Amino acid sequence: MTSSKRKICQAVAFALSALAASAAMAQTPSLLGGGSSLVAPEIQSEISAFPPADGTATYWPVGAARMQTQAAFLNNNPTQFTSITITGGTIVTATASGTVDFANSDAPLSASQISAYTSSGGLGVTDGPLIQLPYIVTPITVPLVHAPTGTGPTLPNGGTTATVALNDADLCGIFSGAFTNWNQVTNPDNGSLYPAGAITVVYQANNDGTTDLLTAHLQAVCPVPSGTTAVPVTFTVTQNFASLFPSSTPPSNFVAATGSSGVAASLLALSGAGVGYLGPDYTNTFLAPSSSPAKTNNLSVASLYNTTTKADVVPSYQNATLAIGAVTVPSGSNESNPSLWVPNASNPTTGYPISGTSQIITSQCYATHSDTPTVAASVIDFLTLHYESNVSIINGNGFDVVPSVYITAIKETFLSNLSGLKLNIGNKSVCGPLAGR
Protein backbone atom coordinates (compact mmCIF):
# COMPACT_ATOMS: atom_id res chain seq x y z
CA MET A 1 0.00 0.00 0.00
CA THR A 2 1.07 3.55 0.43
CA SER A 3 2.93 5.61 3.02
CA SER A 4 2.73 9.34 3.69
CA LYS A 5 6.50 9.52 4.20
CA ARG A 6 7.66 7.16 1.55
CA LYS A 7 6.12 5.83 -1.63
CA ILE A 8 2.46 6.62 -1.84
CA CYS A 9 1.82 4.23 -4.64
CA GLN A 10 4.22 2.04 -6.62
CA ALA A 11 3.82 0.20 -9.90
CA VAL A 12 4.99 -3.37 -9.71
CA ALA A 13 6.38 -4.85 -12.93
CA PHE A 14 6.58 -8.56 -13.44
CA ALA A 15 7.01 -11.22 -16.13
CA LEU A 16 4.42 -13.90 -16.86
CA SER A 17 5.12 -17.49 -17.88
CA ALA A 18 4.80 -19.37 -21.17
CA LEU A 19 3.27 -22.78 -21.45
CA ALA A 20 4.60 -23.38 -24.97
CA ALA A 21 8.33 -23.32 -25.64
CA SER A 22 7.74 -21.92 -29.11
CA ALA A 23 6.28 -18.78 -27.56
CA ALA A 24 9.64 -17.79 -26.13
CA MET A 25 10.85 -16.34 -29.42
CA ALA A 26 7.51 -14.83 -30.47
CA GLN A 27 6.01 -11.44 -29.78
CA THR A 28 3.99 -11.78 -26.60
CA PRO A 29 1.26 -9.66 -25.00
CA SER A 30 1.90 -6.96 -22.46
CA LEU A 31 -0.84 -7.14 -19.82
CA LEU A 32 -1.86 -4.14 -17.74
CA GLY A 33 -3.60 -4.52 -14.40
CA GLY A 34 -3.92 -2.76 -11.10
CA GLY A 35 -6.02 -2.11 -8.07
CA SER A 36 -6.05 -3.56 -4.58
CA SER A 37 -3.00 -2.62 -2.60
CA LEU A 38 -4.07 -5.16 0.05
CA VAL A 39 -2.81 -7.93 -2.25
CA ALA A 40 0.16 -6.02 -3.73
CA PRO A 41 2.87 -7.70 -1.58
CA GLU A 42 1.31 -11.10 -2.35
CA ILE A 43 1.24 -10.39 -6.08
CA GLN A 44 4.89 -9.36 -5.99
CA SER A 45 5.83 -12.64 -4.33
CA GLU A 46 3.56 -14.73 -6.51
CA ILE A 47 4.72 -13.24 -9.79
CA SER A 48 8.38 -13.69 -8.92
CA ALA A 49 7.82 -17.47 -9.04
CA PHE A 50 6.29 -17.51 -12.55
CA PRO A 51 8.43 -19.16 -15.24
CA PRO A 52 9.56 -16.69 -17.93
CA ALA A 53 8.12 -15.85 -21.29
CA ASP A 54 4.35 -15.74 -21.59
CA GLY A 55 4.51 -11.99 -21.97
CA THR A 56 4.96 -9.08 -19.62
CA ALA A 57 2.56 -7.36 -17.26
CA THR A 58 2.46 -4.37 -14.97
CA TYR A 59 0.42 -4.18 -11.77
CA TRP A 60 -0.33 -0.72 -10.33
CA PRO A 61 -1.45 -0.83 -6.68
CA VAL A 62 -3.92 1.92 -5.81
CA GLY A 63 -5.54 2.36 -2.43
CA ALA A 64 -9.02 3.41 -3.57
CA ALA A 65 -10.11 -0.03 -4.72
CA ARG A 66 -13.68 0.73 -5.75
CA MET A 67 -13.23 4.27 -7.06
CA GLN A 68 -10.03 3.86 -9.07
CA THR A 69 -9.75 0.14 -9.70
CA GLN A 70 -13.27 -0.40 -10.87
CA ALA A 71 -13.38 2.82 -12.89
CA ALA A 72 -10.15 1.79 -14.59
CA PHE A 73 -11.57 -1.54 -15.71
CA LEU A 74 -15.19 -0.57 -16.42
CA ASN A 75 -14.13 2.40 -18.56
CA ASN A 76 -10.87 0.87 -19.81
CA ASN A 77 -9.22 3.97 -18.39
CA PRO A 78 -5.57 3.31 -17.47
CA THR A 79 -5.08 6.87 -16.19
CA GLN A 80 -6.86 5.75 -13.00
CA PHE A 81 -3.64 3.86 -12.23
CA THR A 82 -1.03 6.32 -11.00
CA SER A 83 2.04 6.21 -8.81
CA ILE A 84 3.73 8.96 -6.84
CA THR A 85 7.28 8.54 -5.61
CA ILE A 86 9.36 10.92 -3.56
CA THR A 87 13.08 10.70 -4.26
CA GLY A 88 15.53 13.19 -2.80
CA GLY A 89 12.71 15.62 -2.13
CA THR A 90 11.46 15.44 -5.73
CA ILE A 91 7.91 14.24 -6.40
CA VAL A 92 7.62 12.07 -9.49
CA THR A 93 4.18 11.09 -10.82
CA ALA A 94 3.65 8.27 -13.31
CA THR A 95 0.44 7.24 -15.05
CA ALA A 96 -0.34 3.92 -16.71
CA SER A 97 -1.15 3.67 -20.41
CA GLY A 98 -2.56 0.96 -22.65
CA THR A 99 -5.49 -1.42 -22.34
CA VAL A 100 -6.64 -2.36 -18.84
CA ASP A 101 -6.67 -6.14 -19.08
CA PHE A 102 -7.58 -6.97 -15.48
CA ALA A 103 -8.14 -5.40 -12.08
CA ASN A 104 -8.07 -6.56 -8.47
CA SER A 105 -10.68 -5.13 -6.11
CA ASP A 106 -11.36 -5.96 -2.47
CA ALA A 107 -14.85 -4.50 -2.83
CA PRO A 108 -17.12 -6.31 -5.30
CA LEU A 109 -18.71 -4.62 -8.28
CA SER A 110 -22.29 -3.56 -7.64
CA ALA A 111 -25.19 -5.00 -9.62
CA SER A 112 -25.75 -1.58 -11.21
CA GLN A 113 -22.10 -1.37 -12.33
CA ILE A 114 -22.31 -4.79 -13.96
CA SER A 115 -25.60 -3.95 -15.63
CA ALA A 116 -24.30 -0.64 -16.98
CA TYR A 117 -21.20 -2.35 -18.39
CA THR A 118 -23.22 -4.84 -20.40
CA SER A 119 -26.03 -2.46 -21.42
CA SER A 120 -26.11 -0.12 -24.40
CA GLY A 121 -23.29 2.39 -24.02
CA GLY A 122 -21.19 0.07 -21.86
CA LEU A 123 -17.91 -1.40 -23.02
CA GLY A 124 -19.28 -4.92 -22.65
CA VAL A 125 -21.22 -4.45 -25.87
CA THR A 126 -17.97 -4.52 -27.86
CA ASP A 127 -15.55 -6.07 -25.34
CA GLY A 128 -17.76 -8.92 -24.20
CA PRO A 129 -19.01 -9.78 -20.69
CA LEU A 130 -16.89 -9.17 -17.62
CA ILE A 131 -15.84 -11.89 -15.21
CA GLN A 132 -15.51 -11.31 -11.46
CA LEU A 133 -13.88 -14.07 -9.39
CA PRO A 134 -12.70 -14.39 -5.79
CA TYR A 135 -8.90 -14.16 -5.99
CA ILE A 136 -7.72 -14.76 -2.43
CA VAL A 137 -9.28 -15.30 1.00
CA THR A 138 -8.20 -12.84 3.68
CA PRO A 139 -8.82 -12.06 7.32
CA ILE A 140 -8.91 -8.40 8.32
CA THR A 141 -6.79 -8.18 11.44
CA VAL A 142 -7.16 -5.80 14.37
CA PRO A 143 -3.57 -4.73 15.16
CA LEU A 144 -2.76 -3.38 18.63
CA VAL A 145 0.07 -1.40 20.19
CA HIS A 146 0.67 -0.87 23.92
CA ALA A 147 -2.31 -3.13 24.61
CA PRO A 148 -3.24 -4.95 27.84
CA THR A 149 -1.91 -8.41 28.62
CA GLY A 150 -3.78 -10.98 26.58
CA THR A 151 -5.64 -14.11 27.65
CA GLY A 152 -6.57 -15.39 24.18
CA PRO A 153 -4.94 -18.05 21.98
CA THR A 154 -1.44 -17.64 20.58
CA LEU A 155 -0.77 -17.05 16.89
CA PRO A 156 0.29 -19.90 14.56
CA ASN A 157 3.82 -20.57 13.29
CA GLY A 158 5.52 -20.38 16.68
CA GLY A 159 3.62 -17.60 18.44
CA THR A 160 4.06 -17.74 22.22
CA THR A 161 2.27 -14.60 23.43
CA ALA A 162 -1.42 -14.75 24.35
CA THR A 163 -3.54 -12.49 22.15
CA VAL A 164 -5.86 -9.81 23.47
CA ALA A 165 -9.39 -11.16 23.01
CA LEU A 166 -12.19 -8.90 21.74
CA ASN A 167 -15.85 -9.60 21.06
CA ASP A 168 -18.33 -7.87 18.76
CA ALA A 169 -19.46 -5.43 21.46
CA ASP A 170 -15.81 -4.43 21.95
CA LEU A 171 -15.34 -3.86 18.20
CA CYS A 172 -18.55 -1.84 17.96
CA GLY A 173 -17.54 0.33 20.90
CA ILE A 174 -13.95 0.93 19.77
CA PHE A 175 -14.64 1.64 16.10
CA SER A 176 -17.68 3.83 16.83
CA GLY A 177 -15.81 5.95 19.37
CA ALA A 178 -18.12 4.87 22.21
CA PHE A 179 -15.12 3.26 23.94
CA THR A 180 -12.07 5.51 24.22
CA ASN A 181 -10.24 3.69 27.02
CA TRP A 182 -9.37 0.04 27.61
CA ASN A 183 -11.21 0.19 30.95
CA GLN A 184 -14.46 0.34 28.94
CA VAL A 185 -13.59 -2.81 26.98
CA THR A 186 -14.70 -6.22 28.31
CA ASN A 187 -12.47 -9.26 28.08
CA PRO A 188 -14.75 -12.00 26.68
CA ASP A 189 -12.58 -14.68 28.33
CA ASN A 190 -13.39 -13.66 31.90
CA GLY A 191 -16.03 -10.90 31.71
CA SER A 192 -13.79 -8.30 33.38
CA LEU A 193 -12.76 -4.90 32.04
CA TYR A 194 -9.23 -4.44 30.76
CA PRO A 195 -6.84 -2.14 32.70
CA ALA A 196 -7.06 1.57 31.88
CA GLY A 197 -5.30 3.06 28.89
CA ALA A 198 -6.54 5.71 26.47
CA ILE A 199 -7.11 4.29 22.96
CA THR A 200 -6.18 5.93 19.67
CA VAL A 201 -7.96 4.41 16.66
CA VAL A 202 -6.04 4.56 13.37
CA TYR A 203 -8.22 4.28 10.26
CA GLN A 204 -7.74 4.35 6.50
CA ALA A 205 -8.00 7.92 5.20
CA ASN A 206 -8.45 6.81 1.60
CA ASN A 207 -11.23 4.66 0.16
CA ASP A 208 -10.03 1.15 0.81
CA GLY A 209 -11.11 -2.47 0.52
CA THR A 210 -10.03 -3.36 4.05
CA THR A 211 -12.52 -0.74 5.29
CA ASP A 212 -15.17 -2.38 3.12
CA LEU A 213 -14.61 -5.79 4.72
CA LEU A 214 -14.39 -4.37 8.25
CA THR A 215 -17.59 -2.34 7.95
CA ALA A 216 -19.44 -5.31 6.41
CA HIS A 217 -18.89 -7.16 9.68
CA LEU A 218 -19.66 -4.13 11.84
CA GLN A 219 -22.92 -3.53 9.96
CA ALA A 220 -23.92 -7.14 10.65
CA VAL A 221 -23.22 -7.09 14.40
CA CYS A 222 -23.32 -3.52 15.72
CA PRO A 223 -26.29 -1.67 17.21
CA VAL A 224 -26.39 2.12 17.20
CA PRO A 225 -24.43 3.21 20.31
CA SER A 226 -26.65 4.93 22.83
CA GLY A 227 -26.26 6.36 26.30
CA THR A 228 -22.70 7.53 25.66
CA THR A 229 -21.07 10.86 25.00
CA ALA A 230 -19.48 9.50 21.81
CA VAL A 231 -20.77 10.33 18.34
CA PRO A 232 -23.51 7.77 17.50
CA VAL A 233 -22.71 5.58 14.49
CA THR A 234 -24.90 3.40 12.34
CA PHE A 235 -22.46 1.16 10.54
CA THR A 236 -22.97 0.54 6.83
CA VAL A 237 -20.72 -1.14 4.30
CA THR A 238 -18.37 1.51 2.95
CA GLN A 239 -14.84 2.04 1.72
CA ASN A 240 -14.66 5.47 3.33
CA PHE A 241 -14.41 5.05 7.10
CA ALA A 242 -14.77 8.75 7.94
CA SER A 243 -18.08 8.93 6.03
CA LEU A 244 -19.72 6.93 8.83
CA PHE A 245 -19.56 9.97 11.12
CA PRO A 246 -21.45 13.29 11.00
CA SER A 247 -19.70 15.70 8.61
CA SER A 248 -17.26 12.84 7.88
CA THR A 249 -15.44 13.72 11.10
CA PRO A 250 -14.59 10.83 13.46
CA PRO A 251 -14.12 11.50 17.20
CA SER A 252 -10.96 13.21 18.44
CA ASN A 253 -9.26 9.93 19.43
CA PHE A 254 -9.28 8.78 15.77
CA VAL A 255 -6.28 9.35 13.48
CA ALA A 256 -6.32 9.03 9.69
CA ALA A 257 -3.49 7.33 7.80
CA THR A 258 -3.01 6.72 4.09
CA GLY A 259 -2.93 3.07 3.06
CA SER A 260 -1.91 0.00 5.01
CA SER A 261 1.71 1.12 5.26
CA GLY A 262 0.48 4.40 6.69
CA VAL A 263 -1.80 2.68 9.21
CA ALA A 264 1.04 0.43 10.37
CA ALA A 265 3.49 3.33 10.62
CA SER A 266 1.00 5.47 12.57
CA LEU A 267 0.33 2.66 15.04
CA LEU A 268 4.02 2.01 15.58
CA ALA A 269 4.66 5.71 16.19
CA LEU A 270 2.11 5.94 19.04
CA SER A 271 3.40 6.29 22.60
CA GLY A 272 0.07 5.08 24.00
CA ALA A 273 -2.44 2.38 23.18
CA GLY A 274 -3.58 2.11 19.57
CA VAL A 275 -6.03 -0.01 17.55
CA GLY A 276 -6.38 -0.25 13.77
CA TYR A 277 -7.29 -2.68 10.98
CA LEU A 278 -5.00 -4.25 8.37
CA GLY A 279 -4.56 -7.14 5.99
CA PRO A 280 -2.37 -9.91 7.45
CA ASP A 281 0.53 -9.15 5.12
CA TYR A 282 1.12 -5.87 6.99
CA THR A 283 1.07 -7.31 10.52
CA ASN A 284 3.59 -9.97 11.60
CA THR A 285 5.42 -13.05 10.39
CA PHE A 286 3.34 -15.44 12.51
CA LEU A 287 0.46 -14.69 10.15
CA ALA A 288 2.47 -13.83 7.01
CA PRO A 289 5.95 -15.38 7.21
CA SER A 290 6.94 -14.35 3.67
CA SER A 291 5.68 -10.77 3.66
CA SER A 292 8.25 -7.97 3.79
CA PRO A 293 5.85 -5.45 5.41
CA ALA A 294 4.96 -8.05 8.06
CA LYS A 295 8.64 -8.58 8.87
CA THR A 296 9.16 -4.84 9.21
CA ASN A 297 6.05 -4.02 11.25
CA ASN A 298 5.88 -7.00 13.66
CA LEU A 299 2.53 -5.84 15.04
CA SER A 300 0.47 -7.65 17.66
CA VAL A 301 -3.09 -8.52 16.66
CA ALA A 302 -6.27 -9.34 18.57
CA SER A 303 -8.17 -12.61 18.55
CA LEU A 304 -11.92 -12.21 17.99
CA TYR A 305 -14.73 -14.06 19.74
CA ASN A 306 -17.01 -16.01 17.40
CA THR A 307 -20.46 -15.83 18.98
CA THR A 308 -21.65 -19.08 17.37
CA THR A 309 -18.71 -21.33 18.23
CA LYS A 310 -18.14 -19.40 21.48
CA ALA A 311 -14.37 -19.37 21.05
CA ASP A 312 -11.61 -16.81 20.51
CA VAL A 313 -10.29 -17.10 16.95
CA VAL A 314 -6.95 -15.77 15.65
CA PRO A 315 -6.79 -14.12 12.18
CA SER A 316 -4.99 -16.94 10.38
CA TYR A 317 -5.71 -17.72 6.75
CA GLN A 318 -7.02 -21.13 7.86
CA ASN A 319 -9.65 -19.49 10.06
CA ALA A 320 -10.59 -17.06 7.30
CA THR A 321 -11.14 -19.99 4.94
CA LEU A 322 -13.36 -21.66 7.55
CA ALA A 323 -15.53 -18.55 7.47
CA ILE A 324 -15.67 -18.46 3.67
CA GLY A 325 -16.13 -22.22 3.30
CA ALA A 326 -19.73 -22.12 4.41
CA VAL A 327 -20.71 -19.98 1.39
CA THR A 328 -22.37 -21.77 -1.56
CA VAL A 329 -20.77 -21.68 -5.02
CA PRO A 330 -23.08 -20.43 -7.83
CA SER A 331 -24.55 -23.14 -10.03
CA GLY A 332 -26.67 -23.41 -13.16
CA SER A 333 -27.96 -20.11 -14.54
CA ASN A 334 -26.51 -18.27 -11.52
CA GLU A 335 -22.99 -18.90 -12.83
CA SER A 336 -23.40 -16.16 -15.44
CA ASN A 337 -24.04 -13.52 -12.74
CA PRO A 338 -20.69 -11.96 -11.67
CA SER A 339 -22.21 -10.66 -8.43
CA LEU A 340 -22.89 -14.17 -7.15
CA TRP A 341 -19.24 -15.25 -7.34
CA VAL A 342 -18.25 -13.03 -4.38
CA PRO A 343 -18.68 -14.95 -1.10
CA ASN A 344 -20.49 -13.06 1.66
CA ALA A 345 -19.18 -14.05 5.08
CA SER A 346 -19.68 -10.80 6.98
CA ASN A 347 -20.84 -12.61 10.14
CA PRO A 348 -19.74 -16.24 9.80
CA THR A 349 -20.96 -19.03 12.06
CA THR A 350 -17.47 -20.54 12.13
CA GLY A 351 -13.92 -19.28 11.69
CA TYR A 352 -12.56 -15.75 12.01
CA PRO A 353 -15.37 -13.15 12.21
CA ILE A 354 -13.88 -10.51 9.83
CA SER A 355 -13.12 -12.47 6.69
CA GLY A 356 -13.67 -11.95 2.98
CA THR A 357 -12.13 -12.14 -0.46
CA SER A 358 -10.32 -9.86 -2.86
CA GLN A 359 -11.65 -10.17 -6.41
CA ILE A 360 -10.02 -10.28 -9.83
CA ILE A 361 -12.00 -8.74 -12.69
CA THR A 362 -11.27 -9.73 -16.29
CA SER A 363 -12.96 -9.56 -19.65
CA GLN A 364 -14.30 -12.69 -21.32
CA CYS A 365 -13.12 -11.43 -24.70
CA TYR A 366 -9.80 -9.88 -25.68
CA ALA A 367 -8.70 -8.45 -29.01
CA THR A 368 -6.84 -10.88 -31.26
CA HIS A 369 -3.31 -9.76 -32.07
CA SER A 370 -0.38 -11.33 -33.88
CA ASP A 371 0.99 -12.20 -30.45
CA THR A 372 1.62 -15.83 -29.60
CA PRO A 373 0.08 -16.58 -27.18
CA THR A 374 -2.89 -14.22 -27.35
CA VAL A 375 -3.91 -11.88 -24.54
CA ALA A 376 -6.75 -14.27 -23.66
CA ALA A 377 -4.31 -17.18 -23.40
CA SER A 378 -1.98 -15.15 -21.18
CA VAL A 379 -4.82 -14.21 -18.84
CA ILE A 380 -5.89 -17.86 -18.64
CA ASP A 381 -2.30 -18.88 -17.88
CA PHE A 382 -2.04 -16.19 -15.20
CA LEU A 383 -5.20 -17.43 -13.47
CA THR A 384 -4.33 -21.11 -13.87
CA LEU A 385 -0.96 -20.59 -12.21
CA HIS A 386 -2.59 -18.61 -9.42
CA TYR A 387 -5.29 -21.15 -8.57
CA GLU A 388 -3.19 -24.29 -9.12
CA SER A 389 0.44 -23.62 -8.35
CA ASN A 390 1.05 -20.81 -5.86
CA VAL A 391 -0.59 -21.94 -2.63
CA SER A 392 2.60 -21.66 -0.56
CA ILE A 393 3.24 -18.12 -1.81
CA ILE A 394 -0.33 -17.05 -1.08
CA ASN A 395 -0.25 -18.63 2.40
CA GLY A 396 3.14 -17.05 3.08
CA ASN A 397 1.54 -13.62 2.75
CA GLY A 398 -1.24 -14.46 5.20
CA PHE A 399 -3.91 -15.25 2.61
CA ASP A 400 -5.45 -18.46 1.32
CA VAL A 401 -6.56 -19.72 -2.04
CA VAL A 402 -10.32 -19.87 -2.41
CA PRO A 403 -11.96 -23.15 -1.28
CA SER A 404 -11.51 -26.13 -3.59
CA VAL A 405 -15.15 -26.09 -4.68
CA TYR A 406 -14.57 -22.58 -6.02
CA ILE A 407 -11.35 -23.59 -7.79
CA THR A 408 -13.07 -26.50 -9.52
CA ALA A 409 -15.97 -24.32 -10.61
CA ILE A 410 -13.66 -21.53 -11.84
CA LYS A 411 -11.55 -23.93 -13.88
CA GLU A 412 -14.55 -25.67 -15.45
CA THR A 413 -16.52 -22.47 -16.14
CA PHE A 414 -14.03 -19.68 -16.88
CA LEU A 415 -10.65 -21.26 -17.66
CA SER A 416 -12.20 -23.93 -19.88
CA ASN A 417 -15.67 -24.77 -21.16
CA LEU A 418 -16.08 -28.08 -19.34
CA SER A 419 -19.29 -26.66 -17.86
CA GLY A 420 -20.69 -26.16 -21.36
CA LEU A 421 -21.99 -22.72 -20.39
CA LYS A 422 -19.76 -20.77 -22.83
CA LEU A 423 -18.59 -18.43 -20.05
CA ASN A 424 -14.89 -19.23 -20.50
CA ILE A 425 -12.32 -16.58 -21.41
CA GLY A 426 -11.84 -16.45 -25.17
CA ASN A 427 -14.85 -18.63 -26.03
CA LYS A 428 -15.00 -18.40 -29.82
CA SER A 429 -18.76 -18.54 -30.18
CA VAL A 430 -19.15 -15.60 -27.77
CA CYS A 431 -16.06 -13.59 -28.64
CA GLY A 432 -15.80 -14.25 -32.38
CA PRO A 433 -18.21 -11.47 -33.46
CA LEU A 434 -16.79 -8.97 -30.93
CA ALA A 435 -13.81 -6.64 -31.10
CA GLY A 436 -12.72 -7.71 -27.60
CA ARG A 437 -10.88 -5.66 -25.01
* Cβ atoms of 364 and 425 closer than 8 Å: yes
Give 57's strand partners: 14, 31
According to DSSP, the β-strands at 130-139 and 102-105 are unpaired
How many CA atoms does the CB half-sphere of 206 hold within 13 Å?
24
* Cβ atoms of 143 and 286 closer than 8 Å: no
| Residue environment code for 247-273, b if the CB has 16+ CB neighbours within 10 A, otherwise e | eeebeebbbbbbbbbbbbbbbeebeeb
Q: For residue 88, give every residue at least 6 positions away whose Cβ sits within 8 Å of its Cβ, in sequence order, or none.
A: none
Q: Give the number of residues written for the chain.
A: 437
At 417 the three-state DSSP class reads coil
At 223 the three-state DSSP class reads coil
| Centroid of chain to Cα 3 | 17
44: nearest Cα among 292, 286, 283, 258 = 292
Domains in the chain, CATH or no CATH each: 12-138+321-343+354-431 (3.40.190.10), 141-316 (3.40.190.10)
Give 136's strand partners: 358
At 119 the three-state DSSP class reads coil
Q: For residue 25, give every residue at least 6 positions away whose Cβ sits within 8 Å of its Cβ, in sequence order, or none.
A: none
Give 223's strand partners: none
The whole-angstrom separation of Cα 315 and Cα 277 is 12
The tens place of each residue's pLDDT in the chain, 437 residues long, gives 344 333 333 443 433 333 333 333 346 678 889 888 888 888 777 777 666 667 777 888 885 445 677 889 999 999 998 877 667 778 788 899 999 999 998 888 989 999 999 998 899 999 999 999 999 999 999 999 999 999 999 999 999 999 999 999 999 999 999 999 999 999 999 999 999 999 999 999 988 889 999 999 999 999 866 555 566 789 999 989 999 999 999 999 999 998 889 999 999 999 999 999 999 999 999 999 999 999 999 999 999 999 999 999 999 999 999 999 877 899 988 999 999 999 988 999 999 999 999 999 999 999 976 666 689 988 998 899 999 988 999 999 999 999 999 999 999 999 999 999 999 999 999 999 999 99
